[in-house]
Amino acid sequence: MGIEVVVEGLTKSFGKQNIWQDVSLTLPAGEVSVMLGPSGTGKTVFLKSIIGLLKPERGRVLINGVDMVNSPEREIMETRKLFGLMFQDGALFGSMSLFDNIAFPLREHTRKKESEIRRIVMERIDIVGLLGAEEKLPGEISGGMRKRAGLARALVLDPQIILCDEPDSGLDPVRTAYLSQLLIDLNAQIDATMLIVTHNLDIAATVPDNMGMLFCRNLVTFGPREVLLTSDTPVVSQFLAGRREGPIGMSEEKDAATLAAERTTAGGPYAGSGPCTVVPQLEPSPGLPVRQGALRRRERVLAMMGTLPEAARTAILDSYTPTLGGGRP
């Protein structure tokens, strides 16, 4: 089972540029979470801060009692072994075969025999659907296959927390759909805590249990997916609808005069600024087990219903109504 990640009051700057401030959230154990936001809002910086590769100025990231910001480096390095990290470009070594790329963490960080390494690597290659391609070089395969190879490498050390940095970048919509299903299937099989950083709306709508959004140096919201998907907050609804009208501009944030002119032109609030339709979350592929994270999430969310906005409560009940008697969520 995955591990809970607690983020408290995290603030990060580069020189005088404040990236985001006072970010607090909890990634529930074994659940899939997505962090959204326009380009340039510090999503990747947030990911690297969680794993301790970047040092925020303030705040804590607590994992099994270890603070990835302030604990001794020895404890941070040990806790980092709980993570698997999937980079945007796969970060594969071009001169190595896919097999050797995926085996690299095992050879670097363990003393396992080659026979055991081969067994583990081939299992992970099978999970991500790359059987038969293990001897190919990264330059000989498609971008989607490189993504899956990067994911397989992130899995070889049996991580309890998986961080995916824009796994959809460079992929067409069909490959993105396959990748989305792969992430859900993976969660069903290993029950790891997962955080996916993306600005892809298809992944955001169909994959996560929980969603957050960074904008204008702040965490706009984080919680059950239905809260964000039914939100009428202008920046959230604009982003999810992919509209020009709203607070987000080409340089992230529009000035007050532009926003006022848009409201005047629209005759009031932003046109079409209501919440989007909540589509069903992806289920694991046939033959795979029920996601344990989804079962725990159902209990957790139903227990907090009284604290959620009405639109989110309605969406949650609509999604769970056929199964509230104890079936599959």
For residue range 78-87, list pLDDT tens digits in order.
999 999 998 7
Shared-domain flag, residues 160 and 253: no
Is residue 150 within 8 Å of 91, Cβ to Cβ?
A: yes
Q: pLDDT band at 3, cuts 50/70/90?
A: very high
- Is residue 240, in this structure, part of any structural domain at all? yes
SS3 253: strand
For 130, phi and psi rounded to 5 degrees?
A: -120, 15
196 is in which domain, residue-wise? 5-222
Instruction: Give, as one character, the DSSP assignment of residue 41.
Output: S
Q: Is residue 140 assigned to a domain?
A: yes
Say if 66 falls within a structural domain: yes
Residue 173: CB atoms within 10 Å: 10
Q: What is the CATH number of the domain that holds 210?
A: 3.40.50.300
Q: Is residue 280 part of a domain?
A: no
Would residue 166 count as lying in a domain?
Answer: yes
- The model's confidence at residue 168, banded by pLDDT at 50, 70 and 90, is confident
- Percentage of the residues of the chain whose pLDDT score is greater than 70: 89
Do residues 69 and 157 share a domain? yes
Burial of residue 68, with CB atoms counted within 10 A of its CB: 0-12 exposed, 13-18 middle, 19 or more buried: buried
Residue type, 192: A
Mean pLDDT to the nearest integer, 285-291: 95
* Residue 276 in this model has a pLDDT that exceeds 70: no
The pLDDT value given to residue 267: 44
Written as six digits, the tokens of 183 are 């992430």
Q: Which residues pair with 221 in a beta bridge?
A: 213
Q: Are 36 and 47 in contact (CB under 8 A)?
A: no
Are 34 and 200 in contact by the 8 Å Cβ rule? The answer is no
pLDDT at residue 270, as a whole number: 43
Contacts (Cβ under 8 Å, ≥6 apart) of 66 = 75, 76, 78, 79
What are the tokens at 4? 């809970």
pLDDT of 272 > 60? The answer is no
Q: Alpha-carbon distance 25 to 196, whole Å? A: 15
Same domain, 214 and 113: yes
Task: Please indicate, yes or no, whether residues 205 and 254 belong to a single structural domain of this protein.
Answer: no
Mean pLDDT of 24-41: 93
Residue 326 has pLDDT above 80, yes or no: no
If asked whether residues 189 and 244 sit together in one domain, one would say no
Residues 71 and 109 grouped into a single domain: yes
Q: Are 170 and 146 in contact (CB under 8 A)?
A: no
Please state, in angstroms and rounded to a whole number, the distance separating the CA atoms of residues 320 and 306.
Answer: 16
pLDDT digits (tens, 9 = 90+) for 214-245: 998 899 999 999 999 999 899 998 988 888 88
pLDDT tens track for 101-152 = 999 999 988 899 999 999 999 999 998 889 999 999 999 988 888 888 999 9
Of 192, 222, 252, the last residue of a domain is 222
Token pair 């609509």: residue: 318
Instruction: Check residue 89 and give its pLDDT.
Output: 63
Q: How far apart are CA 195 and CA 14, in angstroms?
A: 23
**153, 104 Cβ separation under 8 angstroms:** yes
Mean pLDDT of 242-263: 65
* Per-residue pLDDT tens over the stretch 187-213: 999 999 999 999 888 999 999 999 999
Is residue 140 located within the same domain as residue 245?
A: no
List the single range of 19-23, 198-202, 248-252, 284-288 with lowest mean pLDDT: 248-252
Residue 247 tokens, joined: 């607070």
pLDDT at 262 exceeding the cut of 60:
no
Q: Based on the domain organization, do 241 and 174 belong to the same domain? A: no
pLDDT higher at 295 or 323: 295
- Diameter of the chain by CA atoms? 70
Element (H, E) at 82: none
Q: Let me know if residue 324 belongs to a domain.
A: no
Q: Are residues 151 and 190 in the same domain?
A: yes
Give the model's pLDDT for residue 1.
77
116 and 261 within one domain: no
Same domain, 165 and 261: no
Number of domains in the chain: 2
Which of 159, 192, 222 delimits the end of a domain? 222
With a cut of 70, say whether residue 183 has pLDDT above it: yes
Does 310 reside within a domain? no
H or E element: which one contains 150?
A: helix 143-155
Q: How far apart are CA 249 and CA 46, in angstroms?
A: 22
Q: Are residues 238 and 180 in the same domain?
A: no
Instruction: Inform me whether the pLDDT recorded for 158 exceeds 50.
Output: yes
Q: Give, rounded to a whole angstrom, the gap between the first and last alpha carbons of the chain.
A: 19
Q: Give the pLDDT band of residue 283 (cuts 50, 70, 90).
A: very high
**Confidence at residue 253, expressed as pLDDT on a 0 to 100 scale:** 53
256 pLDDT exceeds 80? Answer: no
Helix then strand then coil, % of the chain, to nearest 5 = 40, 20, 40
260 in any annotated domain: yes
Is 219 in contact with 38 (CB distance < 8 Å)?
Answer: no
Looking at residue 171, its pLDDT comes to 81
* H or E stretch covering 155: helix 143-155
pLDDT on residue 144? 83
Mean pLDDT of the chain: 88
